[in-house]
Amino acid sequence: MKYAGAPVDSPDAQPSLRSRRELIVLGVAGILTFLVLREARRKAKRDRVSRPTIDSRFAAFAPLARGERRIDFVSLGHALGDDMMMAVELQYALAPVMLVRDTGAGRLVAAWADRPERLASYVATHGVRVLATTPDGYALMERPVR
Give the whole-angstrom CA distance, residue 37 versus residue 24: 20
- Helix-, strand-, coil-residue percentages of the chain, each rounded to 5: 45, 15, 40
Q: Is 123 within 8 Å of 74 (Cβ atoms)? A: no
Q: Is the pLDDT of residue 139 over 90?
A: yes
Interval 20-27 mean pLDDT: 85
Interval 55-77 mean pLDDT: 87
136 pLDDT band, cuts 50/70/90, is confident
With 0-12 / 13-18 / 19 or more C-beta atoms within 10 angstroms meaning exposed / middle / buried, residue 64 is: middle
Q: Rounded to two decimals, what is the model's pTM?
A: 0.61
Beta-carbon count within 10 A of 122 CB: 18
Q: Is the pLDDT of residue 52 over 70?
A: no
Mean pLDDT, all residues of the chain = 81
